[in-house]
Structure formats: structure tokens, C-alpha cells
Structure 1
């Protein structure tokens, strides 16, 4: 089993945060290199975009297998194998001379990156109580900052090293983290190595309404962030006609909301209950939707009218999502890998469906985002209130 925080807290936190960063690199940092990739492989930008879609499919399928397997055979071996596979895939992408080979190695990288779903299971193994909550707040904050910094980082790497730059950085980071995990992470024996098959384990966790409710709340919060990130190039580059550099700076300002939200979430976790913290965060998401709608109606589309509501929304996301994830993971401590994979699948599905709806809606983007945030926030509030009532009814008299 990995060493406890009492013995090596710094390495444990560094490993988990590194997994967050490595999870962002293959998807977001490569986006500014689309034109260069299209030119290098003599394909259309749409063909290069296909590699992102295949990557998302590959990582999703891989996660569904890795989580339950880690409950049966332990975390370390799967983490090391997955990271090694992702490194080989990234190296293959750099060395590919044709588009077919690039797609093949991109899929291989995606399958390996599925191991990063184990970050939630490792938190469950390594930490307890408030430590878990605080670390999950830190990870959500780090994830938001990494995503916000990605366009600027991708642009810098593209200018300095052409399209292979992001892949070489991924390889270097991956090798560093692999060595740290290999040297300092001891594998944990599976707690119940033969008690549940893969399908039975998923059936067990997915039948629990409390588990599903908390993960859906986390997924809804993520979907609000994801839909904005996906649509932000359309808002700022196409409709407001900003430069790529200005767009990158705007996302840096947006990322500051993750820091503020993380600080606020940390403070709230010491003063109010988990469920009240979730409610507070969700109310901010609803407020952000209303604010965006009002600003757009009275002042039109401007950077301020989009950025201010999104910063409010992001603070709500950072307050609600980590604690909802912690409460979900606490339901099945002996099946942390399966629980982590099931929750990750919900997050991918919710993020994809919501962003597709926002993209296909006939209404203007600010109006669609505003109504989506309000609707999702209210749905999540209904879920948490129903969960609170169910938990009260389950308590012994």
C-alpha cells in the first residue's frame, strides 16, 4: 500500500497533482498545434480533431476497466503500466510519419492515460476525513488552473518546438512521475480481491442512490466548466474577434477564480457541513447563470459580461464539486477504484452531453450558457436536498 501522509505527504501530494497535469496535457495543450499537425500530415483540421475524439473514447473505455481492476490487483502496477503505455504512445506520435500511425499511437496514449482515474482511489487509500476533502479541493483547483493555462502553454510550446513540443513535455513529465511512483509507491493488496466481478462491482455502486446523486452533482458542476471551456473560442475568438494571445490571457484571469474558489472552499469546509457547502456552491452556479443572462440582455456580448459570471460560476464549482466527490467516494471505501471509474464516466458523459447541447442550441451562446447554468444548478440543488432527506430518514431513531 502507498505510504501514508504521515510518512511521505509531500510525495503523495506531488504524485496526485502530477496526475492532474498529465491528464490535461494530451487534450488541451495540443489544441494550438492543430494547424501545424494538419500541415505536417497533409490532412484537414477536421481530421486532426478526430484524434481528440478518439482520444476521449479511448481514455473513457480504459478508465472503465482500470478502476475495478485496481480494486482486485492493487493500484501501483496498473498506474505504472498505464503511464508507461501513455509514454510509448506519445513517443510514437512524435515519430509517426503518416496520419494513420499518428492516430494509432494517439489511441495507445489514450488507453494508457486511463490510469489517471486512479487519483481519486489513491486519495481514498492515503487520506482520511478532512484531509481527503482538502486534497480534493486542491486537485480541482489545480485542474482548473491547468486547463486555463493550457492554451497559453500550448502556444508557447508550438512557437518554440513546433507540434512535437507538447508530446515531448508530456514524455518528460511522465517519466519523472513514473520513477517517483516506482520508487516510493508500495502496492496495496486488494481489500476484496475475489468478492465482486467487474460487472457486479459496477452494478453494486450504480444501484446506490446516494453514490449516484453525489457523483451527478460533481458531474453537473464539471459540465458547467467544460461547456464554457469548449465554447470559449467561439465566444472570444469568433464573436468578439480577439487575438489568440488575448484569449489566453482571459483564460488566465478565469483561472484565478479557481484559486479564489479553492481558498473559499477550504475555509467553508472548516465551518459548515459538507452538504451545506455543496448547496452554497450550487447557489453560486445558479446566480452566475442569472447574472450572465441579465448582463447580456442589458449590455450585450462583452468580455466583462462573460468573464464576470463565469468567475462566479467557477467559484461555485470549486466549492461544490470536491466535497460532492468526497461524499460519493466515501460510500464504497472498499471499491474505491470502481467508484472512481463510475464517477469519471458520469463526468465524461455529462460534460459531453451538456457541451453538445450548448453548441447545437439555436439561441445565442451567452443566453444558452446562462439558462444551462441555472437549469443545471437547480437540478443539482434538487439532488442534494433529496439526498439530505434520504440520509436523515436512514438514521436510526
Structure 2
């Protein structure tokens, strides 16, 4: 008997809360540093450290869900996120705050396991369509999250962000309890058996090809996040509000790409969608570099290059996520967690690299070049995927 499908809005919100937990409170970071009387570098551990913890947790969450099921892992994660958010809200010193902040990383299960649930209930082409629809809606989170967080911080103080997280966690716990039935109908025997099954993925060239595609794609996005403010403010003199609009441009492109994926999946092959997505993301920034070199050195051209990367990612990521979980459907949760961990670690590296290299008068060229290079790695991976699938 097939599992009862959860409502699409439940899966969208599970993904969105994972994104909001990373970016909603960012406008309040400086305010938090003052409140705790620490440097900006110390309080920024709430971002960088959180990303590292999230990547490690994905290695555990996937196998846990393959063994015990998607539902109990999601419910436990949402409960932990709720308690950790309250701990952040009540924390009186920065070290206690950071400890609870790391525990908030459990919410990443929403993103990892919503993908696994889709793969449980749908074949690959339909899974790509559903992931595209989910991506279209959840792309609003990185657009609206910082706006909401900035408003809460200015109006009620930075702690209001973490009370909002607690309320979101309580809502998602209740919604998941009510709507999310178990979709993993073939659980594994033991947790250690799941980790012993990792070599099955490690031995698969197709798995690594999909991971490389995901890492290159997301790397272009994180490169933009790491350098957009630096270049926009230092080179073009943009105000914070203008920067907010510009940084949101890549998410707007991502929404369009996800919308197209949702409409085209089933009519256009997954491989072709990924290929054209990588073409857009690789050559869009190169076109922006060319236009700027010809004399149109302005932020509109830079943001147009970013939109092309967002569009390409919207075409690539739903299909690549569906593909990486189809390499071995029995290990869908593990594949989602492992590929997600590798992708986040790669994204953290891209953020750091861009932040280190994109300063100075050539910053716009460096930023677009790094975005194109990372996206180009994804393009090569898609060509590798095509070759491996033809050989099967």
C-alpha cells in the first residue's frame, strides 16, 4: 500500500524554515554583538558555525530517517529547534547563546527529509517536478527572511527573531504531527548498517557526479552571497536597501527557474533541464564580465549576471536532487543527507573564497568570474552524468 502523501504546503514550509533559520536574523548581527559585548567575528560564529553543524547533522539525519522513518526524525528535530530557539531567546551570555544556536541546526532535517519524502512518494521525473514546485515557493524565504528579521530587530530587538523561530518551530511541529505520515516503507535494519551502506554510494560514480553538479551549482550562489555586499558597497556605493534588493535578485532568478522546472518536468528530460541550467549559470556571468569590460561598469549588469545563475540553479537543483536520491532509492535519505552536507561545506568554502578575493577595483570581475567557474564545474558534472547514464 503506497504511503499517504503529505500536503505540498507542509513540505514547502519544512524546507522554508530551514532557510529562514540561517538568514532571517542576519540584519541583527551587529546589534547582537553590541548586546553581548563581543566582536563581530565572535557573533558571526552563529552563521559559520551553524553551517558546519548543519552539514555534519545531515550525515546523521539521513541514515536515521532511513532506519527509523522520516516522521519521527522530523518531529524530534522540530521539537529540538523549538527548545533551542527559546534557549537563544533567553541566553544571557554569548557562549550560552552560541551553544543553543548550534542546536538550532537540527532544523536542517526539514530540508533534507522533505526531499526524501518526495522521492519516497514519486518516481524521479515526478519528484523533479514536485521539487521544482517546492523550490519556487520556498525561494521566497531568502527574499523575505532578512526583511522580516530586520523589522523585528528594529522594532522589538534582536531577541524577537528567536521568539519568532520558537513560534515557527511550534507551528511546524504541530503541522508535521498532523499531516506527515510515514513514507519510508522499507526501513533499514540498524543505524550502523546504514553507515556501512555509505560505501555503496561512495562506489557509485553517478552519485559523485550528481554531488559535483550540486556543489558547483550551489557554490555559485554562495559565492554571490559572500561577495555581493563587498562589491556592491565598496565598488558601487550601494545603500543597505539597494544591496538587499540586489542580493534578492539571485533568488528571483531561482524562483523563475524552479517554476520552469515544475512546468517542463515530464516533457523535457531531467538531463536536458540540468544542462540548460548550467549553460545559463556558467555563461551569464561571463556575459556580464564582457559587458562591464566594454564600459557598462554598473551594478545592474552585475545583478543581471546573478539572475542568470539563479535561473540556472532553479533548472538544475530540483532535477539533480531527484537524481542523487535515485542512484539507490533504498538509501534516499542517506543520499540526501550526504549530498547536502557536501554541498553546504562547498558553499561555505565558496563564501570564504569570494569574501577574501572580491575586494578592490576588480571586485566585480572577480565575483562574476568565481560564480562562472563554480557553475562551470556543475556543467562538466552534467556532461559526466550524461555519459554515465548512457553507459548503463
Q: Would you say same fold, with TM above 0.5?
A: yes
1:132 and 2:127 are equivalent in the alignment? yes
| Residues 74, 13 of structure 1: alpha-carbon distance in 2 compared, 3 angstrom cutoff | same
**Match of residue 56 from structure 1:** 51
1:351 and 2:317 are equivalent in the alignment? no
1:125 CA displacement: 1.6
Query: Aligned to 1:40, which of 35, 39, 49?
Result: 35
1: distance between equivalents of 2:358 and 2:228? Answer: 17
Contact kept, 8 Å, 1:215 with 1:343, in 2: the verdict is yes
1:59 CA displacement: 1.6
Contact kept, 8 Å, 1:26 with 1:167, in 2: the verdict is no
Structure 1 residues 209-242: Cα deviation after superposition (integer angstroms, max 9, x where no partner): 1122122212211111121122221122333222
Query: Aligned to 1:310, which of 306, 321, 329?
Result: 306
1:371 CA displacement: 2.3
1:2 CA displacement: 9.1
Q: How does 1:101-140 map to 2 (within 5 A)?
A: 101-114=96-109, 116-140=111-135
The TM-score normalised by the length of structure 2 is 0.92
**Match of residue 202 from structure 1:** 198
Contact kept, 8 Å, 1:285 with 1:374, in 2: the verdict is yes
Q: How does 1:240-251 map to 2 (within 5 A)?
A: 240-251=236-247
Count of aligned pairs = 389
1:324 CA displacement: 1.4
1:300 CA displacement: 5.5
1:108 CA displacement: 1.7
1:386 CA displacement: 2.5
SS in 1 for 2:255: helix
Q: CA RMSD in A?
A: 2.2
Contact kept, 8 Å, 2:117 with 2:183, in 1: the verdict is no
2: distance between equivalents of 1:271 and 1:190? Answer: 29
| Residues 110, 368 of structure 1: alpha-carbon distance in 2 compared, 3 angstrom cutoff | same
Query: Aligned to 1:177, which of 157, 172, 176?
Result: 172
Query: Aligned to 1:368, which of 356, 360, 366?
Result: 366
Q: How does 1:212-251 map to 2 (within 5 A)?
A: 212-251=208-247
| Residues 130, 190 of structure 1: alpha-carbon distance in 2 compared, 3 angstrom cutoff | closer
Structure 1 residues 52-81: Cα deviation after superposition (integer angstroms, max 9, x where no partner): 222122222221111101111111111111
Query: Aligned to 1:321, which of 307, 311, 317?
Result: 317
Contact kept, 8 Å, 1:237 with 1:243, in 2: the verdict is yes
**Match of residue 4 from structure 2:** 4
Contact kept, 8 Å, 1:2 with 1:186, in 2: the verdict is no
Structure 2 unaligned segments of length 5 or more: list them.
none
SS in 1 for 2:7: helix
**Match of residue 148 from structure 2:** 153
**Match of residue 391 from structure 1:** 389
Structure 1 residues 236-295: Cα deviation after superposition (integer angstroms, max 9, x where no partner): 233322222222233344433223222332333243211111111111112212112112
Which 10-residue stretch deviates more, 41-50 or 349-358?
Answer: 349-358
1:29 CA displacement: 1.0
**Match of residue 8 from structure 1:** none
2: distance between equivalents of 1:123 and 1:55? Answer: 26
2: distance between equivalents of 1:152 and 1:74? Answer: 35
Structure 1 unaligned segments of length 5 or more: list them.
6-10
| Residues 248, 379 of structure 1: alpha-carbon distance in 2 compared, 3 angstrom cutoff | closer
The TM-score normalised by the length of structure 1 is 0.91
SS in 2 for 1:272: coil
| Residues 97, 147 of structure 1: alpha-carbon distance in 2 compared, 3 angstrom cutoff | same
Structure 1 residues 146-169: Cα deviation after superposition (integer angstroms, max 9, x where no partner): 213232222112122210122122
2: distance between equivalents of 1:119 and 1:209? Answer: 25
